[in-house]
């Protein structure tokens, strides 16, 4: 079965690189959102989603706010979320673990293998 993954990131180049990696190398279907609001909307409409890759640092609504809203909604609360972040401090790792995210991918990442990181984190 083809995996369906939503990529929420305000940087167009990042969205595109991840999309190419997931679709070309893994054979999955990627959906793109450039803001938290758009990500929340697509998480509800592009069903079923197998995972969400969510940027932490975005204007308007950051990844933590988006994650909280995803978890508060019965239609999206069971979708595994992997955070995308440029800076990971030890305190961030503790926060991510407490939040219950599936995993974290740090930027910059290797475009050729980012699909493999998703695969490994989710055990696909």
The pLDDT, as a whole number, for residue 28 is 98
Q: How far, in Å, CA of 99 to CA of 24, rounded?
A: 31
Residue 90 has a pLDDT of 79
Q: Which structure tokens are listed for 87?
A: 């800076």
Q: What is the 3-state secondary structure (H, E, C) of 45-88?
A: HCCCCCEEEEECCCCCCCHHHHHHHHHHCCCCCCCCEEEEECCC
Q: What pLDDT does 93 receive?
A: 77
Tokens of 61: 């609504």
Residue pointed to by tokens 């440029």: 86
Report pLDDT for 114: 97
| Mean pLDDT, the chain cut into blocks of 10 residues (124 residues total) | 96 97 97 98 96 95 96 96 88 84 94 96 96
Euclidean distance between CA atoms 97 and 124, whole angstroms: 20
Residue 96: predicted pLDDT: 83
Distance from first CA to last CA of the chain, Å, rounded? 11
What pTM, to 2 d.p., does this model score? 0.95
């Amino acid at each position: 079965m083809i995996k369906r993954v939503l990529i929420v990131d305000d940087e167009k180049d990042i969205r595109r690189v991840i999309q190419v990696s997931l679709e070309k190398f893994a054979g999955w279907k990627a959906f793109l959102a450039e803001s938290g609001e758009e990500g929340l909307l697509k998480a509800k409409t592009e069903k079923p989603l197998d995972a969400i890759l969510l940027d932490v640092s975005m204007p308007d609504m950051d990844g933590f706010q988006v994650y909280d809203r995803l978890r508060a909604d019965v239609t999206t609360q069971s979708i595994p979320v992997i955070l995308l972040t440029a800076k990971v401090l030890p305190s961030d790792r503790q926060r991510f673990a407490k939040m219950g995210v599936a995993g974290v991918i740090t930027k910059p990442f290797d475009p050729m293998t980012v699909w493999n990181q998703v695969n490994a984190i989710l055990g696909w």
